[in-house]
Amino acid sequence: MKLIIDTFGTDHGPESVCQGVMSALKKYDFYAILVGEKALVDRVAKDHGVSPDAYEVLETDHAISNHDDPARSIRRDPEASQVLGLERLNEGDADGFLSGGSTGALLAGGLFITKRIKGVDRAALTTTLPGKKGPFILLDAGANMDTSPDMVKQFALMGSSYAEVALGKANPRVGLLNVGAEPGKGDKRSKEAYELLQDAPINFVGNIESRDILENKADVIVTDGFAGNIVLKALEGTLSTVLTMLKEAVMSSTRSKIGGLLLKPALKKVMARFSTKDIGAAPLLGVQKSVFKMHGNSDAETVCVGIKNLIDYIDGGVTEKIRAKFIEEQDASV
């Protein structure tokens, strides 16, 4: 298996990405094509004792950043790391691409360079979140605004195929994010999407209220990118606020510091269940190739986990599953 990895774009810089790739080369069976500066890659490889036969470098010195216009840059900057990587992916000898850079650029590149699977109107970004009883998948996480009910259904088809592999669940339960649990709830889009999801070739379990989002009532939760992004960031924000306040309470007196120390192991154990440490990157679903996005704050360890996720995704044949799902769907609706 050949994987292309963008060394640019993460907060920790290219060296950290290279370190993650070298760790992964020692753990997993793949050939790496690193997009970045050869001198740096070679140095990190040598430090890790990785043979030059295990990788090659697609030389460039920059990426499309979050401040650039994504669609414009993808078309006009052929030397950007994302463009080089995706073009190489399109040539067909590599199996997947991983980048921690601009989400917009990856999305635009996925659409313009890699192209969509037939029947897919919009590629979607997923996010894997920690539920009480294990991870679940939310999409669209913010790539697409003003989606139609049919696009939400497409997210469900894609998310279901992805969850089979990422969560290892046959026939994953798919829920629709909504303002109430009963059918007939929600805005126009949600009501129409509900109807479409009932007839789709997936295991649709109905509406999921955001109050229950961490309760694992569904393996995949689908929604428009606006609502998906809002709910995702509300979770992040609330968690971060509560943890800050907890720390503040612990640090406020000697008594509470001792309390915090005594409580720490138990808290750590409970929190461990509530973790996404096995998820380092997530796919851009609906494009013809395996394109993965890692978070901008990914460190070397996360890069290594992200590479494992990409390998599993390719091994699991998710792109082919999605392709088959859309053919099945189109046949059914004829």
Give 226's Cβ-side CA count (13 Å radius): 7
**SS3 label, residue 176:** strand
Indicate the residue type of 172: P
Nearest distance from C-beta of residue 189 to a copy of itself, angstroms: 8
> In this complex, which beta carbon is closest to a copy of itself, that of residue 45 or of residue 125?
125
Q: Using only the alpha carbons of the chain, give its radius of gyration.
A: 21
C-alpha distances out from residue 324 to 46, 196, 267, 287, Å: 43, 19, 44, 13
**Residue 71 has which token pair?**
């669609």
Pick one of 29, 51, 53, 270: the residue that binds a copy of itself (CB under 8 A): 270
Q: Is 67 in the site for a copy of itself (CB under 8 A)?
A: no
Could you give the CA distance from residue 215 to residue 252 in angstroms, rounded to a whole number? 32
Of 14-22, 54-62, 111-119, 268-276, the segment contacting a copy of itself by CB under 8 A is 268-276
Q: Is 113 in the site for a copy of itself (CB under 8 A)?
A: no
Segment 122 to 141, residues that bind a copy of itself, using CB under 8 A: 132
Pick one of 92, 269, 333, 334: the residue that binds a copy of itself (CB under 8 A): 269
Segment 211 to 230, residues that bind a copy of itself, using CB under 8 A: 211-215, 224-227, 229-230
Q: What b/e readout covers 266-278, taking b as 16+ CB neighbours within 10 angstroms?
A: eeeeeeeeeeeee
Determine the size of the site formed for a copy of itself (CB under 8 A). 57
Residue 75's Cα: distance from chain center in Å?
24
Could you give the CA distance from residue 256 to residue 252 in angstroms, rounded to a whole number? 7
Pick one of 198, 253, 297, 330: the residue that binds a copy of itself (CB under 8 A): 253
Pick one of 26, 62, 168, 245: the residue that binds a copy of itself (CB under 8 A): 245
Q: Is 186 in the site for a copy of itself (CB under 8 A)?
A: yes
- 8-state DSSP, 287: B
Residues at the site binding a copy of itself, with contacts judged by CB under 8 A: 132, 142, 145-146, 177, 179, 186-188, 190, 209-215, 224-227, 229-231, 233-242, 245-246, 248-250, 252-253, 255-256, 258-267, 269-271, 274
